[in-house]
Amino acid sequence: MCGLTGFWDAHGNLSKDELINHVKKMSNQIIERGPDSYGIWCDENSGLALGHRRLSIVELSNAGHQPMISSSGRLVISYNGEIYNTLELRKELEKLNNGLKFKGHSDTEVILEACEFWGVEKACKNLNGMFAFSLWDREQKKLYLARDRLGIKPLYCGYSQGVLFFGSQPKSFIPHPKWRPEIDFQALTNYFRFSYIPAPLSIFKGIHKLIPGTILSFDNKGNRDEVYYWSLEKTALDGLNFRTLTEKQSENILIDELEMLLKDTIQRHMVSDVPLGAFLSGGIDSSTVVALMQLQSSTPIKTFSIGYMENDYNEARHAAKVAKHLGTNHNELYLDFKLAQEIIPTIPNYYDEPFADPSQIPTFLVSKLAKEHVTVSLSGDGGDELFIGYDRYFMSQNLWNKVGFLPVALKRLAMSGILKIPPTLWNKIYNLTSTKVNIQNFGERLHKLARSLKVSSSEQFYRMLVSKWELPEALLLSGTEPQRYPWNGNELKSMDQFIERMQYIDTLTYLPDDILTKLDRASMAVSLEARVPFLDHRIVEFAWKIPLEMKYRQGQGKWLLKQILYKYVPKELIDRPKMGFDIPLDHWLRSPMRDWAESLLNINRLKSDGILNPEPILKKWQEHLSGKKNWHYPIWGILMFQAWREHWKI
């Protein structure tokens, strides 16, 4: 795992020393992504500079040093990621390209030669892994930027004062004299709605995230081109069309097929020249990853968990039982407010865009714990989106199926009826009547669902459901929310089931821009490589082909995945309500964090900043402090934005 940065100043007439000086300072901004070594390469005549920070994982010698030049001398690459079919590609290239001799064993060298032999688009199609890279064609004077299919690795690019900037994180641009950051208020409204900024927007005007599965290219004539080499839309629709064939297959065949695919994927993800382990929450996804890792390891796998003193939030005890059953070398750390208080001031440094998923705190801590023992850690992220794991999927579909067909006026009536009953009473009603599955905080979730009913379509309903602020434009003194969506709507019409449309939307947005962003920043902050085997594109494509009932039965998800896990871990250790990675933020904000929060929410400060409207913010804050309502998620978004601005002086 590494970090890349660079710039192209075609009209700056910079000397080689100036190019080197600028890009060296830029690469030092992301030193934690690659503390082992750094590299610089410049094309003085073109005004282009590539910078790289290396975290050595495979091929620890200088043969893996970057930026790297292809054997012909034509291409130069700066790359971040891990390719899991390196050996197969290497053999194929050696066979097809007579005379090609590799200098080392790095995946970087394989990507370079693949791009030169096949071209960038075909090379990306042949790669199995997580990656983001910048590639300079010295002959054509053309720059390529590419990002992996699911957006596991980040890549930003855009212009400031006529200079093209690109890199793993925008904070690397700060030392450049022509970097002039300006807040994009459309992106900011999106942030307040979702607590993250959906691609392609970034917090900075003119700077964008590459959409997963894309290649951008720029030439010296000012032309820009974008190519999709892989598409979730095509994958989903092809899978739905293929589903009539899988429906004829027996359950055992599909269970065996997924298990074989997972074993192969996890074996590939275990290739490393440095110590390796896994995050273990004790849930279905991480337990499956660890079980199949331990199955293929001759020594105990190192596993890592975060626990809480508050019992309602603590999954560590479940993880410990799974670890004991599988025989792993288990390590755990308990999080309390004092420990969280040490971390919170550092958050803006490694989340260089505003980001407000509270589980960023335990994700950082479990990464820090893992780094004390290993340099690579596997994660179970992605399983919820692929195999229907979120409670909100079930609750949303059930409620929409019952009232979605009603006119908006009647839905509003249903909404008001639900909201008249306090969440605490709904919890009691649910606990008395439900026998299928225990959904935590049912009353608050039902209220959130009800408030989302005032719309006409299921997609709008889901958008409202996942919104932290219902009217984010009201928070800003200026700026409007963009109405663009990462889907065109046609593909959603082909999905009969609302639950599949929610899966699709989350995989396009929430997965790369929240879940994977959180994992990348938290792990890279401590120089740990995090790998996500569920997001092997072969598993993603398989998941869209299998019948819905293989994922979702009797109000519960991940049916197919559970059948595999039950072979290795007893049901009683696994079958329990999903807890997620929440922290007791609602309580902390009312008591130990209150002074810190109020310093950031001070009305005079808000007014003098000239960005936010204090009225709706302070109204929610007072309601939260009273204990009548839990507004910790929307409040956390405001706090993280304020802390981000304070840190970066923007």
Output the 3-class SS for 187-199: HHHHHHHHCCCCC
**pLDDT of the residue at 447:** 80
CB 583 within 8 A of CB 307: no
Q: Considering only CA atoms, which of 167, 174, 168 is closest in space to residue 648? A: 174
The answer to whether residue 56 scores a pLDDT higher than 60 is yes
Percent above pLDDT 90 for the chain: 70
Question: How confident is the model over 469-527, as pLDDT tens digits?
Answer: 989 999 999 888 887 777 777 888 889 899 999 999 999 999 999 999 999 999 999 99
Has residue 293 got a pLDDT over 90? Answer: yes
Alpha-carbon gap, residue 591 to 339, rounded angstroms = 15
**Cα-trace Rg, the chain:** 25
DSSP-derived secondary structure for 108-167: HHHHHHHHHHH-HHHHHHH--EEEEEEEEETTTTEEEEEE-TT--S--EEEEETTEEEEE
pLDDT given for residue 542 in this prediction: 96
How much is the mean pLDDT over the chain? 91
CA gap 566, 426 in Å, rounded? 33
Residue 575 pLDDT > 80, yes or no?
A: yes
**Which is more confidently placed, 416 or 329?**
329
Q: Domains in the chain, ordered, with CATH?
A: 2-230 (3.60.20.10), 238-387+506-574 (3.40.50.620), 391-501 (no CATH), 585-648 (no CATH)
Q: Residue 388: what pLDDT?
A: 95
Token match 């019409």: residue? Answer: 493
Average pLDDT over residues 111-139: 97
Q: What is the pLDDT of residue 312?
A: 63
b/e map of 334-360 (b: 16 or more CB within 10 Å)?
Answer: ebebeebeebbeebbebbbbbbbbbbb
pLDDT of residue 361 exceeding 80: yes
